[in-house]
Amino acid sequence: MRPKNNLTVMINLINLFRELWQEHIFWTRNFIISTVSELDDLEFVTNRLLRNPTDFANILKLYYGNEKAKKFETLFREHLTIAGSLVNHAKAGDIEAANEDRRNWYKNADEIVAFLASINPYWNMKKFQTLFYHHLKMTEDEAMYRLNGRYAQDIINFDVIQAEALKMADIMSCGIIDQFYSK
């Protein structure tokens, strides 16, 4: 059941999607750092990162039902597992496997974007795809900067990742507001 139409609910929705996207990039960053540095927290960081798709799905379920929320959760979890594989293959120097992961990652991004566009007419597929592709490129750059010890560039890049994640959050929350609250 959809919450009542009011300004507080809409502001909370905006803040919630911003929080979810911030967590997405924060835990992705921690995964990259823990993987590259072979830290003992990798299992715990990975588990927390993989909770992010479920957190998104729990919100989407309120508006689109269980089936569509689960579909998004599956696609978004694939996004993370492919990214993890890409980081690990890059770290191991397995260029062929990393290239295959990259192809699969962009294919998965297309699936996520197409799915989102299919459930909400206010989510512009082209704009979201551009942002998602940029997100993938910057995340891969983040891993490569970390792998190559280019920490200053890594931090500059992360600031851009964060700004982009907030744009993606706003697209999602505003799309739901337009679809469910603007009538």
pLDDT in tens, 129-162: 999 999 999 999 999 999 999 999 999 999 999 9
Residue 1 has pLDDT above 80, yes or no: no
pTM score: 0.94
Side-chain half-sphere CA neighbours of 176 within 13 A: 24
Averaged pLDDT for residues 76-81: 98
Report the domain count for the chain: 1
Rg (C-alpha) for the chain, rounded Å, is: 17
- Which residues lie closer than 8 Å to 61 by C-beta, 6 or more apart? 68, 69
Residue 41 belongs to a domain: yes
d(CA 21, CA 97): 28
Residue 2 belongs to a domain: no
Residue 72 belongs to a domain: yes
d(CA 173, CA 118): 16
Residue 61 belongs to a domain: yes
Containing structural domain, residue 27: 7-180
pLDDT in tens, 88-103: 999 999 999 999 999 9
Residue 1 belongs to a domain: no
Q: With cut-offs at 50, 70 and 90, classify the pLDDT of residue 6.
A: confident
Residue 30 belongs to a domain: yes
